[in-house]
Amino acid sequence: MAIRTIVWGENVHEQKSKIVAGIYPDGMHQTIADALNAAGGIDAETATLQEKEHGLPESRLAETDVLIWWGHAAHKDVDDEIVARVCRHVWAGMGLIVLHSGHFSKVFKALMGTPCNLTWREAGERERLWVTSRSHPIAAGLPDHFELENEEMYGEPFGIPEPMETVFVSWFQGGEVFRSGATWRRGAGNVFYFRPGHETYPTYHDGNVQKVIANGVRWAHNPAARLTDPEAAPNVPVEKALEPIEARGEKLHADGEEGFR
Amino acid sequence: MAIRTIVWGENVHEQKSKIVAGIYPDGMHQTIADALNAAGGIDAETATLQEKEHGLPESRLAETDVLIWWGHAAHKDVDDEIVARVCRHVWAGMGLIVLHSGHFSKVFKALMGTPCNLTWREAGERERLWVTSRSHPIAAGLPDHFELENEEMYGEPFGIPEPMETVFVSWFQGGEVFRSGATWRRGAGNVFYFRPGHETYPTYHDGNVQKVIANGVRWAHNPAARLTDPEAAPNVPVEKALEPIEARGEKLHADGEEGFR
Amino acid sequence: MAIRTIVWGENVHEQKSKIVAGIYPDGMHQTIADALNAAGGIDAETATLQEKEHGLPESRLAETDVLIWWGHAAHKDVDDEIVARVCRHVWAGMGLIVLHSGHFSKVFKALMGTPCNLTWREAGERERLWVTSRSHPIAAGLPDHFELENEEMYGEPFGIPEPMETVFVSWFQGGEVFRSGATWRRGAGNVFYFRPGHETYPTYHDGNVQKVIANGVRWAHNPAARLTDPEAAPNVPVEKALEPIEARGEKLHADGEEGFR
Amino acid sequence: MAIRTIVWGENVHEQKSKIVAGIYPDGMHQTIADALNAAGGIDAETATLQEKEHGLPESRLAETDVLIWWGHAAHKDVDDEIVARVCRHVWAGMGLIVLHSGHFSKVFKALMGTPCNLTWREAGERERLWVTSRSHPIAAGLPDHFELENEEMYGEPFGIPEPMETVFVSWFQGGEVFRSGATWRRGAGNVFYFRPGHETYPTYHDGNVQKVIANGVRWAHNPAARLTDPEAAPNVPVEKALEPIEARGEKLHADGEEGFR
């Protein structure tokens, strides 16, 4: 069964900037979705900031295996309730791929627990991505490195928690380095950050970049049933303890009472 | 120089429950602070929810090396602005120790990026903590295991990101297990979660528990200068690139402009 | 295509002990292989210590996706050359599952770089395994915990490197705990350690245990092409540098010379 | 009390190469030891391959807090018994810093469990090391990056297990990147790998490099008492179980018998 994927695009610069619109006439999200649909085994649709509930109603996320997130100019316009909803779905098992300037999205920062900051320079310089984790599924079919002739520079220190696995590290022409592919698990959800994708360059038309994102979707997909309540903190009554015990000492809670949150 | 430490206590049950007040007449926070001050090399004070700004004004956090957090019934009453302030100080280098029911505090959840949930039972059962990381500084001076005859049970799965190091795992009389001591780094700040400490038992009077918390303070202390702005994302202008480059391609940002956040 | 799997069994106690032979008339390895073949998508064979090259010639490992290892009494009899061969195949992409007393096998110790020691007791006590990583593929189809009524106890501290992910933690009737399911990556190879399986109990006839091992095979399988030489350290000549550079300074090596090893 | 440190040098090229002897007339090990002794709080001595037991008798390692390892041309000449001895001391709590070409030393490979391979080029090119873990103690007192005008290139993929923390990532003039500072824990011992130090360049005379190594010594030092037997696997008799149990089922071992290894 195909992996049900949503490519979420902020869709702001595509509307405001002739440069961006020229490279991505249907939006970056559509270019990415098209590439995923061509990759095989993935059924990709799009959603944008401007849609009702940003195109991410509860019912739709419940039917989504992997969400891809690209945002830049309008991070602040993303509704906090939708952010919390996305996080809950990740915790419950939905995969998440965060692209490029999405490092500063509310969703990514909330899931990392860190500032996710970096240094940057918009100079169209050369980026070379090196695979640091040999034969990692996210690097399937790639050479040991690949180049993007024009990209924005992102430099270390990258304000993230130590990744579960560092898959790519980038070299920049101007002298910086960056951990440009990294994975984490958050609850039952797999999270992958992938650096490239400044909107004034044709990065998402690049075959290697498309391959990484498709690999990322396959890697992030958790086929387990979505958890109903990933935040539940159930009380286990004394009489249902797996080993027989008797209650002792003083109690704060009445029997069967819910815990504090 | 002594490690400047604040023990933050919610201070609710000490006021409402005769049981808790009987065990901790001056509050759990004071008991913990007293133990730390007796441990050597630590200068511990307290702060509580009821104080102005919860006792955690910017100026005070700036002079604090390690913050210890105990909360339970009133997580929701903690001001979001103070939560953000504490997170910023952790990212900037302040150590943080989260105790027991603090697993559901806004501060801990924000720094972990996960639900931090668990199963629980208030039955005064026996807990036995095993050291899983031999000779870890947080376990200094401890035997390979120690017991608390009466504790609340917390059971797996514990909804945390995979720790940097798992220092303790607990055995419970009723049949559960729990990763009861775990570390993470968040930005420049060291974070340690330590499980024991239900308020109706005399846990914080226990010598081993006191030793772990004092060790935790020493481990969490980062002597580096506090970062001024742990969220900064500085632009590196083309003309200041470390390797000579020329700007190429189209640009979204005017020179010297701030990035989007 | 089915995952090509070898279950390697030491096959000593099955020959020497009537108890073990009674539980596993065809050997533990055959019981495990039968369960894997019944699980779907896995093509499992066996190999034993007594066979030529322990049943693991180069040509056979080259056609093996996942190797499962059970040993206990005869770790010292495993040929060092075969150990090195297995490690190379793991580094090159072969998955490895180490069972129970295999914690002290030469293969596991070589891949971990640690003593892999623990405490133990052979008393047929109850073990309860808790899933600590929700919805992890290795725990697919399992409840949140399961029990083995009679097992050998293994206790912490377990002398392993901090795992990539801790999937199970065990509770023992006699009061100990143990990280009984843990994963690592070594080169291109995925490694999973799973604790249960003392030979005098019918553990490998247990449905949950069989399910974990089959899940483990699927998780450990890396579909990438096996690396030809996972230990290669190629020289990159100056004239083939990706960015134009000129050689400067003094040299130790003549052009094209191999590096020291 | 000063941290008792041994700088182990292979001491081959210093004897054979006029270039190396010219830069390090007393050997690289002596230059490093001198810098450590000047750093404060560290008492550094040297040991070399040519000494009896390579200068690392059991009695001396027992009095050593941190061992620093530089080797290149003669990895194969290091006695396997000494390698095993060093590993045991690391597991028991001795800190270890591996420098540059020591990535291929027997000691480092044994502790990592991986090939530790990389790509390389000896062209005297520029290396720029970026701090990736802000305010990490190993980076204390350093700027956010520093340069070495002439160094050998080491390129990814670096065949190591995912580090506990990645402290530095290097940029190379010729287009490669490398995780040039990384930490692991092995048993009770802290391990730090630091990349720079090709013998034909004056790297160990560089102030930043010296600072990193001194910081590394302080970080790697574990003040806990050295473990007597880091490989022990003690049996816990039924009658000494922490919770009362009765032996059940069949047994392989007689009471009090040692386990298999």
- Res C258: pLDDT: 77
Whether D120 contacts chain A with CB within 8 A: no
Whether A142 contacts chain D with CB within 8 A: no
Query: Does residue C251 form part of some domain?
Result: no
Q: Count structural domains, chain D.
A: 1
> HEC states along chain D?
CCEEEEEEECCCHHHHCHHHHHHCCCCHHHHHHHHHHHHCCEEEEEEECCCHHHHCCHHHHCCCCEEEEECCCCHHHCCHHHHHHHHHHHHHCCEEEEEHHHHHCHHHHHHHCCCCCCEEEEEEEEEEEEECCCCCHHHCCCCCEEEEEEEEEEECCCCCCCCCEEEEEEEECCCCEEEEEEEEEECCEEEEEECCCCCCCCHHHCHHHHHHHHHHHHHHCCCCCCCCCCCCCCECCHHHCCCCCCCCCCCCCCCCCCCCC
Which of A72, A112, A119 has the CB atom closest to B260's CB atom? A72
Q: Is B235 exposed, middle or buried (0-12, 13-18, 19+ CB in 10 A)?
A: middle
- Res A252: pLDDT: 83
pLDDT band at C260 (very low <50, low <70, confident <90, very high): confident
Structural domain boundaries enclosing A101: 3-116+179-220
Query: Does residue D47 form part of some domain?
Result: yes
Interface of B with D in 28-47 (CB under 8 A): none
Beta-carbon contacts of A18 under 8 Å, excluding residues fewer than 6 positions away, are none
Is residue B261 predicted with pLDDT exceeding 90? Answer: no
Separation in Å, CA of C200 to nearest CA in chain D = 6
Contact C165 A187 (CB under 8 A): no
**pTM reported for the whole predicted model:** 0.97
pLDDT band at C90 (very low <50, low <70, confident <90, very high): very high
Secondary element (H or E) of residue C97: strand C95-99
Query: Does residue B72 form part of some domain?
Result: yes
Q: How far apart are CA B85 and CA B88, in angstroms?
A: 5
pLDDT band at C209 (very low <50, low <70, confident <90, very high): very high
pLDDT band at B251 (very low <50, low <70, confident <90, very high): confident
- D91-116 average pLDDT score: 98
- A117-136 average pLDDT score: 97
Is residue C80 predicted with pLDDT exceeding 80? Answer: yes
pLDDT band at D4 (very low <50, low <70, confident <90, very high): very high
Contact A157 D133 (CB under 8 A): yes
Chain A residue with Cα closest to C244: A173
Contact C165 A164 (CB under 8 A): yes
First to last CA, chain B: 39
pLDDT band at C79 (very low <50, low <70, confident <90, very high): very high
Residues of D in contact with B135 (CB under 8 A): 93, 188, 222, 224-225, 227
Is residue C203 predicted with pLDDT exceeding 80? Answer: yes
- Res C36: pLDDT: 98
- Res A179: pLDDT: 98
Is residue D252 predicted with pLDDT exceeding 90? Answer: no
- Res D191: pLDDT: 98
- A47-64 average pLDDT score: 98
Contact A117 B161 (CB under 8 A): no
Contact B200 A75 (CB under 8 A): no
Query: Does residue D235 form part of some domain?
Result: no
C-alpha separations of D217 from D41, D64, D95, D117 in Å: 10, 11, 8, 24
Residues of B in contact with A241 (CB under 8 A): 121, 123, 125, 174-175
- What is the C-alpha R_g of chain B? 21
Query: Does residue D164 form part of some domain?
Result: no
- Res B110: pLDDT: 98
Query: Does residue B57 form part of some domain?
Result: yes
- A229-248 average pLDDT score: 95
Indicate the average pLDDT of chain C. 96
- Res B156: pLDDT: 98
- Res A258: pLDDT: 77
Please list the alpha-helical segments (H only) found in chain C. 13-16, 18-23, 28-39, 58-61, 80-92, 106-112, 207-220
Per-residue b/e over A110-141, b at no fewer than 16 CB within 10 Å?
Answer: bbbbbbbbbbbbbbbbbbbbbbbbbbbebbbe
Query: Does residue C150 form part of some domain?
Result: no
Contact A135 C93 (CB under 8 A): yes
* Percent of all residues in chain A with a pLDDT value above 70, rounded to a whole number: 99
- Res D29: pLDDT: 98
Structure tokens at B208: 């081993």
Whether B244 contacts chain D with CB within 8 A: no
Residues of C in contact with A133 (CB under 8 A): 185
Q: Which of D134, D145, D162 to mutate to test the interface with B (most CBs of B within 10 A)?
A: D134
- D191-196 average pLDDT score: 98
Is residue B256 predicted with pLDDT exceeding 80? Answer: no
| Chain segment D48-86, per-residue pLDDT in tens | 999 999 999 999 999 999 999 999 999 999 999 999 999
- Res A251: pLDDT: 84
**CATH, residue B23:** 3.40.50.880
- Res B210: pLDDT: 98
Is residue C23 predicted with pLDDT exceeding 80? Answer: yes
Whether A133 contacts chain C with CB within 8 A: yes
Among A206-220, B27-41, B79-93, C238-252, where is mean pLDDT lowest?
A: C238-252
Separation in Å, CA of A95 to nearest CA in chain C = 12
- Interface confidence (ipTM) of the complex: 0.96
Whether B145 contacts chain D with CB within 8 A: yes
Whether C232 contacts chain A with CB within 8 A: no
- Res B129: pLDDT: 98
- Res C254: pLDDT: 74
Query: Does residue C236 form part of some domain?
Result: no
- Res C250: pLDDT: 84
Which of A128, A134, A147 has the CB atom closest to C187's CB atom? A134
- Res A257: pLDDT: 75
pLDDT band at D261 (very low <50, low <70, confident <90, very high): confident
Residues of B in contact with C157 (CB under 8 A): 130-134, 144
Contact C134 B166 (CB under 8 A): no
Q: Which of B135, B218, B228 to mutate to test the interface with D (most CBs of D within 10 A)?
A: B135
- Res C252: pLDDT: 83
Q: How many residues does chain B have?
A: 261
Whether C135 contacts chain A with CB within 8 A: yes
Is residue B252 predicted with pLDDT exceeding 90? Answer: no
| Chain segment B138-178, per-residue pLDDT in tens | 999 999 999 999 999 999 999 999 999 999 999 999 999 99
Subunits adjacent to chain B (3 or more Cβ pairs under 8 Å): A, C, D
- Res C249: pLDDT: 85
Residues of B in contact with A80 (CB under 8 A): none
pLDDT band at C259 (very low <50, low <70, confident <90, very high): confident
Contact C188 A242 (CB under 8 A): no
Which of B123, B161, B236 has the CB atom closest to A238's CB atom? B123
Whether B261 contacts chain D with CB within 8 A: no
- Res B144: pLDDT: 97
Whether D157 contacts chain C with CB within 8 A: no
Chain C residue with Cα closest to D234: C119
Secondary element (H or E) of residue A243: none
